[in-house]
Amino acid sequence: MAASLDWTRGFSLDFSLQNGRSQGVEATARRLSQMGDMYFDTAAAQAAIQNEDPLIYEFYELGAPQSAGDLAFGTSIIYAGKVGDEYYMTKGHFHTILDTSEVYYCMAGKGAMLTESPEGDTILHELTPGQALYVPPRYAHRSINTGKETLVTFFVFRGDAGHDYGTIETKGYRKLLVERDGKPTLIDNPRWR
């Protein structure tokens, strides 16, 4: 975390990602070995992990105070690639405070945001540069890079929202985004629990 972040009086920060990095903010990296069982083709995931353990995505979050009046924000960088025929993606999460929304702004690349309510309402939203996306309360969300370039998004949510990764890790999403005939295609997840 950058030393100049004054959450009481305010601050500005360069999120232009010069040289692929946010200035003064440490990244959290997710390699395939940290999420290989989230992909349907576990054999392809294990082979890729043993071969090179590719970097799937990184995110820069500023460590905002965990209070309802503060806003957490940062950037996500999802690299281009696939595991089997499934695109590189983030783990995805609900918020611990389920009635929390989140806003994403696509800065670069091409992708999709897969959203799903606890009741199973699943919606796929396209992400292209300059497009803002509102993820409503109660929806899990996962960013997916469907392009050949890096997908970069800026995100904002309430500071005390928290992240529930465990539900997605144990149950998965009801749908998967895979490549079929050269196009992103939403299919049922045969492993959904």
Give the tens place of pLDDT for each residue, 57-95: 999 887 788 888 889 898 999 999 999 999 999 999 999
Q: How many residues does the chain have?
A: 193
- Average the pLDDT over 10-16 and give the result: 72
**Tally of CB atoms within 10 A around 45:** 20
pLDDT the model gives residue 8: 74
d(CA 56, CA 29): 8
More confident residue, 171 or 102: 102
| Domains by residue range for the chain, with CATH | 18-188 (2.60.120.10)
Q: At residue 18, does pLDDT exceed 60?
A: no
Report field, pTM of the whole predicted structure over 0.85:
yes
With tokens 């696509």, the residue in question is: 106
pLDDT the model gives residue 2: 44
Contact assessment for residue 88 and residue 56, using Cβ atoms and an 8 Å cutoff = yes
Percent of the chain surpassing pLDDT 70: 92
Q: At residue 106, does pLDDT exceed 90?
A: yes
| Cβ neighbours for 176, distance < 8 A, ≥ 6 positions apart | 40, 86, 186, 187, 188, 189
Lowest-pLDDT range of 1-15, 98-112, 126-140: 1-15
pLDDT the model gives residue 16: 64
Q: At residue 24, does pLDDT exceed 80?
A: no
pLDDT one-digit tens code per residue, 135-173: 999 999 999 999 999 999 999 999 999 999 999 998 899
